């Protein structure tokens, strides 16, 4: 009954506020047949993680790269079992994600969540619960929503796997991680996440899928996964909309 009601609500919403009018990337007019509301030109410019990917984190790897793991995963172990990603974080992907996160375009979660579903549903992965990476109270107030939670809500509706946004809590605000190196990110995120008392009972012995919009070095995914595993989860998988490039560490660059 819930699925039927949700489907009916979506049909009515689409009829009143059709989503496939403008390309979510460049804004050009499109028709309803365009996948993810992307025009033909933009969908070709997106860097889909459909080729070689890191066997641990799912980050896209260049064809010329010989390793099975990206540089980050070779350099450090991760708490999550395996990661998956839809896109490589390039110029066009960045434009859409910045709009989604900072320009009040939370409605893009519908199309972006569909990308997550199409990516993970073909993996044969079985999980018991989907959990979004929590957002700090200050940033949530500023944006008006948790971008990861909106993605998870859409993914859950498409995939039929339940989700819970109250299991994992953010205990403290953290600085912007973009300018920090991997070690500084780990320090900034130390003790940042915890599992709620109710959440501990809900995840004990369960296989979880943790979801966020962007994956870079894995510091956030690890901090969240560590908290979930310590609270009794059996395994934690990770899914991101976009992941950063396979950047060579500076110490390796100096050796070449």
What span, in angstroms and rounded, lies between the C-alpha atoms of 36 and 48? 13
pLDDT of residue 129: 98
pLDDT of residue 1: 54
Same domain, 107 and 135: yes
Same domain, 173 and 85: yes
Residues 161-189, mean pLDDT to the nearest whole number: 79
pTM of the model as a whole: 0.88
Residues 35-52, mean pLDDT to the nearest whole number: 95
Domain containing 68: what range? 47-255
Q: Is the pLDDT of residue 215 over 90?
A: yes
Same domain, 171 and 158: yes
Residue 101 parent element (H or E): helix 91-102
Which residues share a beta bridge with 69?
A: none
pLDDT of residue 139: 84
Residues 206-212, mean pLDDT to the nearest whole number: 98
Residues 182-196, mean pLDDT to the nearest whole number: 78
pLDDT of residue 17: 45
Same domain, 4 and 87: no
pLDDT of residue 10: 54
- Count Cβ neighbours within 10 Å for each residue of 171-208 and write b for 16 or more, e otherwise: eeebeebeebebeebbebbeebbbbeeebbebbeebbb
pLDDT of residue 256: 41
List, for residues 80-137, the tens digit of each pLDDT value. Answer: 999 999 999 999 999 999 999 999 999 999 999 999 999 999 999 999 999 999 998 8
Same domain, 8 and 96: no
Same domain, 228 and 216: yes
CA angle 11, 7, 24 (to 5 degrees): 55
pLDDT of residue 252: 47
pLDDT of residue 176: 67
User: CATH number of the domain that 114 lies in?
Assistant: 3.40.50.2020
Residue 110 parent element (H or E): helix 109-121
Confidence of residue 142 (pLDDT cuts 50, 70, 90): confident
Same domain, 137 and 223: yes
Same domain, 6 and 131: no
Backbone torsions φ then ψ of 209, nearest 5 degrees: -115, 115
Same domain, 234 and 136: yes
Q: Answer for the pair 203, 167: CB distance below 8 angstroms, yes or no.
A: yes
Same domain, 123 and 224: yes
pLDDT of residue 147: 95
| Cα–Cα nearest to 128, from 220, 232, 50, 233 | 233
Query: pLDDT averaged over the chain?
Result: 88
Same domain, 78 and 37: no
CA 203 and chain centroid, separation: 20
Same domain, 7 and 54: no
Number of domains in the chain: 2
Confidence of residue 253 (pLDDT cuts 50, 70, 90): very low
DSSP string covering 24-81? TTT--B--TTSGGG--HHHHHHS-BS-S-B-TTT--B--TT---SS-HHHHHS--SSS
pLDDT of residue 189: 75
Greater confidence (12 vs 32) lies with 32
State how beta strands 129-132 and 168-170 pair: unpaired
pLDDT of residue 61: 94
């Amino acid at each position: 009954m819930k699925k039927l009601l949700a489907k009916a609500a979506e049909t009515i919403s689409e009829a009143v506020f059709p989503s496939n009018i403008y390309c979510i990337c460049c804004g050009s007019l499109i028709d309803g047949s365009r996948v993810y509301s992307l025009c033909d030109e933009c969908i070709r410019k997106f860097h889909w993680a459909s080729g070689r990917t890191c066997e641990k984190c799912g980050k896209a790897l260049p064809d010329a790269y010989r390793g099975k793991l990206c540089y980050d995963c070779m350099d450090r172990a991760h708490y999550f079992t395996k990661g998956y990603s839809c896109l490589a974080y390039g110029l066009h992907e960045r434009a859409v994600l910045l709009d989604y996160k900072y320009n009040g375009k939370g409605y893009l979660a519908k199309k972006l969540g569909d990308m997550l579903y199409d990516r993970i549903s073909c993996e044969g992965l079985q999980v018991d619960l989907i959990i979004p990476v929590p957002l700090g109270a200050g940033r949530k107030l500023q944006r008006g929503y948790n971008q990861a939670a909106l993605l998870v809500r859409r993914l859950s509706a498409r995939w039929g796997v339940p989700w819970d946004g109250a299991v994992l809590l953010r205990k403290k605000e953290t600085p912007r991680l973009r300018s920090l190196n991997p070690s500084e990110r780990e320090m900034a995120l130390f003790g940042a996440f915890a599992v709620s008392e109710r959440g501990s009972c809900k995840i004990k012995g369960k296989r979880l899928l943790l979801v966020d919009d962007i994956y870079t070095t894995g510091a956030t995914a690890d901090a969240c996964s560590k908290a979930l595993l310590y609270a009794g989860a059996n395994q934690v998988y990770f899914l991101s909309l976009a992941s950063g490039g396979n950047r060579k560490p500076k110490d390796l660059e100096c050796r070449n």
